[in-house]
Amino acid sequence: MEIILITDIAGVGYKNDIVNVKAGFGRNYLIPQGFALLANDSNRKIVAENVRQAAHKAEKLKKDAEDIAAAIGDLIIDIRTVVGESGRIFGRVTNTQVADVLKSKGFDIDRKKITVDDVKSVGTYSALIDLHKEVKHKVTLNVIAAED
């Protein structure tokens, strides 16, 4: 029996795949649970259109991420932090601090998409911004001592 999967099913296939399964499995479990559709001509056309639209949306998201990365460019972010006499910082530089500075410069990026190197003292470091699964961008962080 040929069916079109609506969701990913372990051991069977992935969403929008057309797979052959035993008739009882498809008729008694996959179709009634809403995990699959019967692979007739009309359902095949609907799924093909959905795949085409999803590809178009994914391409647009990637293009938007590339545009943001280009806009950020070689931006150097100054992070002010409290520093001891030896030059080591108290606490740490977090992704939230980087996100706040980016927001003040006009880039609204979620803090969860930012990975900061381990910062222990004043100096230059880098942070990686994950804009899309295929688009990642490095930003330079300039950690400087805060003035009292």
88-143 tens-digit pLDDT: 888 888 889 999 999 999 999 998 899 998 888 888 999 999 888 888 999 999 98
42-70: average pLDDT: 91
**Token match 């530089």: residue?**
93
pLDDT at 88: 87
DSSP state of 27: I
> What CA–CA distance (Å, rounded) separates 13 from 37?
13
pLDDT at 148: 59
pLDDT at 29: 95
Confidence check: pLDDT of 26 > 90: yes
Domain residue ranges in the chain:
2-68, 70-145
What fold, for 2-68?
A: Ribosomal Protein L9; domain 1 (3.40.5)
> What CA–CA distance (Å, rounded) separates 83 from 91?
9
Nearest to 35 by CA among 66, 65, 8, 64: 8
Contact 10, 2 (CB under 8 A): no
| Structural tokens at position 15 | 């969403």
**Average pLDDT of the chain?**
90
| Structural tokens at position 143 | 């950690």
CATH for 70-145 (3.40.50.720, 3.30.200.20, 3.40.50.620, 3.10.430.100): 3.10.430.100
